[in-house]
Amino acid sequence: MSTTTTQRRWILAIVVVLLGQFAYRAEISQQQKSPVWDETIHMDYGSAFLRYGPKINPKDHPYPFDAFLALPLVLGERPELDARGNLLISSPQNLWPVRRMNIVLATLGLLLMSYWVMRLFGGTVALLFLGMGTLDPGWIAQARFATTDIAHGLGFALTALLLYHFRKEGGKRALVAAGAASALAILSKFSGLLLFPLSLLLLLGSISIEHSWKQRLKEFGLYCASSVAFVLLVFQAHWLFGDAAFLDGFKHLAQGFDHFLEIRGLHKGIFFMGEYVQGGSLLYFPGLLLSKTPIVLLILLGASLALPSVRRLIGANKWLFLIPLAFTATAIVSRINSGLRHMTPLLPFLWLLGAWVLVAFKERVRDKQFLFPAFAVLLFLEVFLVHPHYLPFTNALYGGNEQAHTIASNAASDWGQDLGALGAYLQANPPEEAIHLAYFGRTPPQRYGIKHVCRPCGALGRPCHPKQARDTCDADATILAISATCLHGDARRLDGKPGQDTCYSWLKGRAPDALIGGSILLFKKPPPK
């Protein structure tokens, strides 16, 4: 057996192990997480779009990629609907098949991105890239939920890699593939439209004697035509099958985009770094990237600016970073502060920088064979210790998962994912009477056997049922369980006015007696207000 064949088998084995442990951890952890705030909205739209196409109202989350995730709901047992026709999650297990669709996409996406990294920078860099991607808590956190964040990030990253490959090697297939990747981003979130002007800049930036601006514009036209064709194919699919009028798809697309602009135009406050910031903060995403990136990767990113060889590599490939950096800058300026999930288009390029640094390190150290395994073990341990609580992941420099909710709430640490963990805690530690619960989520706590007195949680928290026992924010209780988003007043005010909901401000500064999953705080015998 030749050395080359042996090496290929080892590489294949490493790839299988990396992707296998990623998919396994994602599957195990998703089974332990209750439905998050956005999931039922995504699945409601996705299942309705599959059945009725553009005839439905494009409200809330009008992204047809949801239809792909919702396939198990339509092909399998029909889900329950309420009086208004909205999707009901009668059991949290109903979402497991849907979440698996996203886990498969996230896993295959890692493999596909690694392939193009290999085409651009070689097998060693690609293998290191894949390793960091499978261990990054920011990627696996979103892979487990039925939302569009993974597809959005994958669409952006693949577009950048494919267009950069075309810029270096040429080939119309890469342009068409980049158009398909852009369509994936657009069908996941309308902010994917940013790819059109950014892609034009990337292509025009390579004008030379061999490539005139007219030729680049033609190539850009082919890329745009491919992307638009894929998008319209999805929106017009029901017309092709005779289930909708020709103009219905175009109207649905326009109405959905208008709704997207309306939502994005709302002024929202955010809890960040211990205080409520009306209108959002420019420091939000930089702060989350610093606090939610594993320390090992932070060290590598810092070294990328210190090592001359890596700086030269960055300079030689600067156009590759145009799309992710421009997207990040746009996200920061827009102040749509809703968790690290909006940074999925940037994450793959952080892994790439880390891979470059490790390769540079290998050229400098004596015991080269131990370098890569040592970094892999350190990164794995840092991430493994927080399993299965990847969403609130916070590195030790910022206090770990225990302090995640003090940095940012909502989708950054508390998205309603730990109701099942609360139920398990109460089963192991039975209270003498029903607990008081303020929950930021949509799932009925009774699904997890939680007997409780309902307390309010702003405008976005789970409302109290008219026939259910309830109490006010400042009432006395033996045990008060409260979602971090409710505690920090990040669920909007009930009166609809801008500003922080101060319902639970009387608990500010008090340490909880227990922290469930990083998102639900337990206070035993909290004093009344």
**Confidence check: pLDDT of 203 > 90:** no
CA distance 397 to 292: 10
User: How confident is residue 266, by pLDDT bands cut at 50, 70 and 90?
Assistant: low
Backbone angles phi, psi at 437, to 5 degrees: -135, 125
Residue 295 to residue 279: CA distance in whole angstroms: 30
The whole-number pLDDT of residue 477 equals 87
Confidence of residue 264 (pLDDT cuts 50, 70, 90): low
Contact 388, 3 (CB under 8 A): no
Q: What is the pLDDT of residues 136-180, one digit of tens each?
A: 999 999 999 999 999 999 999 999 999 999 988 888 899 999 999
Residue 249's pLDDT is: 80
Write down the pLDDT at residue 83. Answer: 46
What average pLDDT does range 454-462 have in this prediction? 88
- What local confidence, expressed as pLDDT, does residue 23 receive? 98
**pLDDT at residue 75 is higher than 70:** yes
Contact 401, 393 (CB under 8 A): yes
* For residue 527, pLDDT beyond 80: no
What sign for the dihedral angle of Cα 373, 379, 385, 387? negative
Q: How confident is the model at residue 58 (pLDDT cuts 50, 70, 90)?
A: confident
* Three-point CA angle 303, 304, 305, nearest 5°: 90
Distance (Å) of CA 269 to CA 272, 317, 506 = 9, 38, 20
Q: In a 3-state reduction of DSSP, which class is residue 288? A: helix
Q: Which residues contact 367 (CB under 8 A, 6 or more apart)?
A: none
Provide, rounded to the nearest whole percent, the portion of the chain with pLDDT above 70.
Answer: 92
- 3-state helix vs strand vs coil in the chain, percent to 5: 60, 5, 35
- Of 413, 424, 419, nearest to 33 by C-alpha is 419
| Averaged pLDDT of the chain | 88
pTM as predicted: 0.93
pLDDT digits (tens, 9 = 90+) for 267-325: 678 999 989 998 889 999 999 999 999 999 999 999 999 999 999 999 999 999 999 99
